[in-house]
Structure formats: C-alpha cells, structure tokens
Amino acid sequence: MSGVADLSQMLSHANWGSVADWVSGLGSIGAAITALYLAGSERRARMVADRPQLKVEVSERDTEGWVSVALKIENGSKLHWHMTAIEAVSPKNAQVVHSSAGYRENKEKPWDGPVFDPELRAQALARKVPLSVKVHSVGTPGGAWNHHRPLDKAYETFFVHLPSETHRIKMRLHFSSLEPISNDFTQMVIRELKA
C-alpha cells in the first residue's frame, strides 16, 4: 500500500501546468499533424503530376475480330518511367498481344524481313502481357548529337481479340518508377466500339 500512497502523493504534488499550457501544447500537436498532412498531399499531387501522359487510339474490329490499340506515351517529368504490363480487363474472355508477336523468320526470302503468321499471334495471346517499355526523364541525353530530351516519347501497338457481340474494351496499363521513390500506378483505358 505504501507504493500506491507514494504514487498518489507524487501525482498530487506534480505540476500539471495551467490550462493555457495544455491548450498551447494541443495546438502545437495539431499544427504538426496539419503540416504532415499538407506535405503528404503536396507529395501525392506532385507524384500524380509527374506521371506520363497517354494518348490511346483504338481501331474498329476487323473481320477476324482483331482490334488494334495504339499507345503514345509522353514523359515531360524528371522521373524515368517503365510501362511494365498491359492487361485485358473486360470482357472476361478478352486477351491481348504485342504487335511484334506473330512474326517468324522468312527462310525463303530473308532479305524481305520477317513474315506475319496469324497462328503465332493467336498463340501469343494472354490476359496480361509483361513489358519493359522505358520512357526517359526530361534532360537525359538522347537523339542526334547527344541532344537532351525536352520530352521523351514511346509508341507501342497491341492487338486484342474480341468476340463480335462485344462493344466495349477495358484495359489496365501498369507503370513503375523508382526515382527517387517508388511510384507505381495503373491507368484504366475504356473504349467503345461500333456495333
């Protein structure tokens, strides 16, 4: 009991400060929390502003059900970006393939370059295609005579195979940056197709 009594006596003699001290302390804590929140909001806004810009063009479906998806990626920020994957989201049975897939070596006429083989393209179809498309930051060396990039661009084309009853395509694009901190994000692309 003596221990409890000692603690009680210590608490009764403790200097808890005035109400003004408490209000001041709480105000300081509130100001610190607000500053952290604003700094986080500013950082998030800056990360979004640094993301590459996308231009997407989707063709109409051809007679065999193929739709081409042309991407133009522009990076005007100080970050290096990688497009790491493209994913067919909807319809459920949609699959995607890179435009480079489906070509085989031209053994008969090698001087004419690779030959397109529709069976190879069909075999390469997947729900999600991993990529490593790099879009460099502004100011990095590139181009003739080592000019610095005012704006870096990348162009990629994909094909999606869709059934005839499908009139909307939905894809998810995956991007990643590790400079100066991880800033992964995905962007959804939705396009309507003519009936």
Residue-wise pLDDT for 79-96, tens only, equals: 888 889 999 998 888 889
Higher-confidence residue: 34 or 65? 65
Cβ atoms of residues 185 and 177 within 8 Å: no
d(CA 85, CA 131): 5
Higher-confidence residue: 127 or 20? 127
Residue 10 confidence class, pLDDT cut points 50, 70, 90: low
pTM, two decimals, is: 0.68
137: its two tokens: 């930051």
Higher-confidence residue: 163 or 126? 126
Q: What are the φ/ψ torsions at residue 110 (nearest 5 degrees)?
A: -60, -25
Task: Characterise 94 by phi-psi region: left (phi > 0), alpha (psi -120 to 50), beta (else).
Answer: beta
- Mean pLDDT over residues 50-72, rounded? 83
- Mean pLDDT over residues 146-165, rounded? 80
Return the CATH fold of 53-192. Immunoglobulin-like (2.60.40)
For the chain, give every domain's residue range: 2-48, 53-192
In the chain, % of residues over pLDDT 90: 6
